[in-house]
Chains A and B, each alone.
Chain A
Amino acid sequence: MSNLRSNLTSDHNVKQLDTERILAEKAAEREALKESRRKERAEKLKERTYVEEFDRGVYDIKNPNTYEIMLDKGLNEEIVREISSIKDEPDWMLEKRLAALEIYRELKNPNWGPDLSELNMDEIATYIRPKAQMESNWQEVPDEIRKTFELLGIPEAELDYLSGVGAQYDSEVVYHNVKDYLALQGVVYTDFESAVEQYPEIIQEYFGTCLKPTLHRYSALHYAVWSGGSYVYVPEGVHVDIPLQSYFRMNAPGAGQFEHTLIIVEKGGSLHFIEGCSAPRYNTINLHAGGVELFVKEGAKLRYSTIENWSRNMYNLNSKRAIVEKDGVIEWISGSFGSRVSMLYPASILIGEGARSEFTGITFAGAGQTLDTGAQVVHKAPHTYSAVETKSISKGGGKAIYRSLVQVEEGAYGCRSNTDCQSLMLDAQSRGDTIPTIILKNDDVDFGHEAKIGRIDDQAIFYLMSRGLSEEEAKAMIVRGFAEPVAKELPLEYAVEMNELINLELKGAIG
């Protein structure tokens, strides 16, 4: 008996030893494999150098901070009343501002998304009037301001290929002009203050109905302290054949810009509107909380393009929303390059049968940036269509987050929706997150969503190098190709600007 037991034990021991030996061998093999695989991967990745800061060229030009009026920093009822009285507004507008202020006080920062705790409204001046009047003759714009815009290429652009141009400097619009032949057809393009004065009925009817102050904390803030912005009206059947452009420049440090853009394209009309944004870099925090309301009527078409290159001390908490009626089309082209933190998700509400929304976006997050961007589409009517195509690039510890919603409501039959989002990470310090939500409330939908995240494909680099490109050229070409779907939708000058921004960002980042 004792013999048997000892036999069993020794059997067991043998087995035990066997297992241990196999495990030890496996562990050794694995260590060797890990080493060699790490080497292989390191070989693939090569050495990378990081450029923490770089010259953003003309975008970084600072003007001396001279202004006519700069309200105290912070936000309270007096400040809101003062903005309203400076603008000599009707009472109904003041009431809307005060109501929005109440909403702002009740709402909290979101519990999701980027950290906004550094953003302190007590440190932000909500209204700064530059030393300039609104002009429609470029030469009348004060030298200093004019030069800044000229360096950014604004008036040249007007001459060449724009139907009209607006330029906002801090809180006020300093220049606005639209070509005569369009004005004759009834096209209105003006700064928002003038619109409130000249078209009070239309503004009262539409203002705040598409983008509501209750949407989130910063849309409430926007409605409390809005200043500047554009109003565009395209009458029925009028095709504005060349784009209109508004350029927003923030010069003062520690300030906020809260422009309001309202566009109405009547039945069968069409328009391409371009928005450009930039600001020099300061060490204080700036805030941009603009509001964009777009009304696309039956059979109308609106393309809204944005190239945003705010400096990296900017919190860009912008809200954009379009309501699209029967057979109408909204096209969003969105390039996000600048700012420290962005939260931007243009929304398309498709309320008429056959309405369409197409969103094409690119986001490039570099060192110190958290760019949380994306799109929202709500299909409220049958046979509506939406497409979302986005590209995100992150490098140098930047965070690019794609966030979206596609919702198909009850009774919205025969809807189609396609999403394709791709994220490219250029180094291990960076982050790329994809956070889409899809809500379908009926069965007659055709929905597809695809997302891909990763680094530049080695096979692609290999292929290009086999054709004679250097590795660096190959990578740069791949990144440019990645951004191409957005670039090709932009007017040439903007596409060139975007490619320059990409090259600037990539300089020294890869290779």
Chain B
Amino acid sequence: MTKINRRTNELRGNTLPALTWNWMDVNDVKIDLQNNQKIPYTAVQSVGEIDQELKHTFYDLDHGISEEVMRMNSEQCNLANHWRISDREPIEVRLPQSAENPLLVDQNQIIVPPLQNGTIVLYNYSEDDSRVERNSTILVDVENDAEINVVLVQRLNENSISNVSIVARVGDGAKLSLATVELGAGNTVFHYMVDMEGFGAESHVKTAYLGSGNNHLDLFYHVRHIGEECISDIQVNGALMDHAVKKFRGTIDFVEGCSGSDGNEEEFTILLDDTVRSIAVPLLLAHEDDIVGNHAASAGQIDEEQLFYLMSRGLSRKESESLIVESRMTPTFDQIPNEELRLDLRKEVHSKILHR
């Protein structure tokens, strides 16, 4: 059995593009990655060859969660994938972790050539109760008039650590759709940065999460409108129960020159227990006037009127609660091409809420 070696100094990352009061502790987040050496990952084989030049171009745009986390990713990398998307058949990669594979440090490059269109699913999950770590970087280059759906599903056990950085670039008339599902891991740090460089580029993000136990989720998004007439949205929907803590920190950044752009972010949180913590920092940064930016956030318990309606049809309170939570997650789940996986995720949400 392989073991994770511990590192000692404290790591922090996911720093907000515009800082605010330090005492609130929302400017950055503590990173729990502890491994400090390279150990192999044996569950799947690497695909293709990493383009080092491209990697550095992207790291110039953004350092993902943090420079240190990126450096660790480069040094400890045990799975490297490079895809050139060239047909419509969805790619699905299963990334199991277990006592046999306690560490997954993956580098992924997803290149979508002009006019191409595809879907890629990366599904990371625990096979047993052992503590595992993942440190992942995903570069997505969507060239002119191309379209890509990227789906990330995370279901590690609650002893585990998930760190994922996505850095993306979207060209003229190109479109990136990202769906992320966070249903596990004791500590989740997620980072998404996109540069919409092209004219009419689009970025659509949908996230569904369920925080339970002592889970700590940090969901960080930084969407930069650079080209003219770019369209973006971020929709985050989830529920918190037990002692879960969620930080949503989303920024829509309208860079000078992005005339005619339109950006939206929405975050809705269902609070299921008294002991949860819900933190939201939705930023809008505008350096351009000919734009429209919106954000909306709301949080609270499930509406009693909604529960009453479902219960009047004979469903129990918990069944009804679960149905309402699942309903909120549907738009994200709908992005997953594999129906079996979709149903599986739904079942897990259902049973977690039913048995709380």
A contacts, CB < 8 Å to B: 19, 22-23, 26-27, 30, 33-34, 37-38, 41, 44-45, 110-113, 403, 405, 407, 423, 425-428, 430-455
Contact = CB atoms under 8 A, between A and B. Distances in A.
5 contacts: A436-B283, A437-B21, A444-B271, A449-B298, A452-B292
B301 A437 contact: no
Contact of B292 (A45, A444, A454): A454
B32 interface: no
B285 interface: yes
B114 A23 contact: yes
A1 B22 CA distance: 70
Contacts of A407: 24
A423 B283 CA distance: 13
Contact of B301 (A30, A426, A436, A444): A444
Interface stretch (B75-83, B154-162, B274-282, B333-341): B274-282
A33 B295 CA distance: 29
B62 interface: no
A37 B227 CA distance: 13
Contacts of B294: 450-453
B26 A443 contact: no
A433 B283 contact: yes
Given A37-B228, A454-B293, A435 B299 contact: no
B215 to A, nearest CB: 16
B68 interface: no
B27 A438 contact: no
A440 B281 CA distance: 12
A30 B26 contact: no
Nearest to B265: A451
B291 interface: yes
Interface string B258-290: 011000000001011111111111111111111
A434 B285 CA distance: 6
B297 interface: yes
Contacts of B256: 428
B272 A434 contact: no
Nearest to B26: A437
Contacts of B260: 37, 41
Given A22-B115, A41-B290, A454-B291, A433 B296 contact: no
B145 interface: yes
A438 B18 contact: no
B291 A455 contact: yes
Interface of B: 18-22, 24, 26-27, 114-115, 144-145, 172-173, 199-200, 228-229, 240, 256, 259-260, 269, 271-301
Contact of A425 (B27, B277, B286): B286
10 nearest CB pairs, A to B: A112-B19, A443-B271, A425-B289, A453-B293, A434-B284, A449-B297, A438-B280, A454-B292, A440-B278, A432-B286
A133 B145 CA distance: 75
Q: Chain A CB within 10 Å — which of B173, B259, B274, B286 has the most?
A: B286
A427 B291 CA distance: 11
A45 B290 contact: yes
Nearest to B259: A41
A436 B229 contact: no
A447 B299 CA distance: 5
A45 B260 CA distance: 11
Q: Chain B CB within 10 Å — which of A37, A405, A444, A454 has the most?
A: A454
B286 A438 contact: no
A30 B199 contact: yes
A441 B295 contact: no
Nearest to B280: A438
A430 B290 CA distance: 11
A436 B229 CA distance: 26
Contacts of B27: 112
B277 A440 contact: yes
A433 B277 contact: no
Contacts of A33: 199
A23 B294 CA distance: 33
A34 B228 contact: yes
B297 to A, nearest CB: 4
B284 to A, nearest CB: 4
A440 B46 CA distance: 43
Contacts of A445: 271, 299-300
Given A23-B144, A447-B298, 7 more contacts: A34-B228, A37-B260, A436-B281, A437-B280, A438-B280, A440-B278, A442-B275
B284 A111 contact: no
A80 to B, nearest CB: 27
Contact of B290 (A22, A428, A441): A428
A433 B285 contact: yes
Nearest to B298: A448
A41 B285 CA distance: 21
Given A45-B290, A432-B286, A455-B291, A439 B277 contact: yes
B186 to A, nearest CB: 20
Given A37-B260, A437-B26, A440-B278, A19 B18 contact: no
Contacts of B22: 110-112
B229 A37 contact: yes
B288 A453 contact: no
B225 to A, nearest CB: 12
Contacts of A434: 282-285, 295
Nearest to B145: A26
Contact of B271 (A44, A110, A112, A440): A440
Contacts of A425: 286, 288-289
Contact of A439 (B24, B172, B259): B24
Contact of B21 (A19, A44, A405, A450): A405
Contacts of A44: 290
Nearest to B229: A37
A232 to B, nearest CB: 29
A113 B20 CA distance: 7
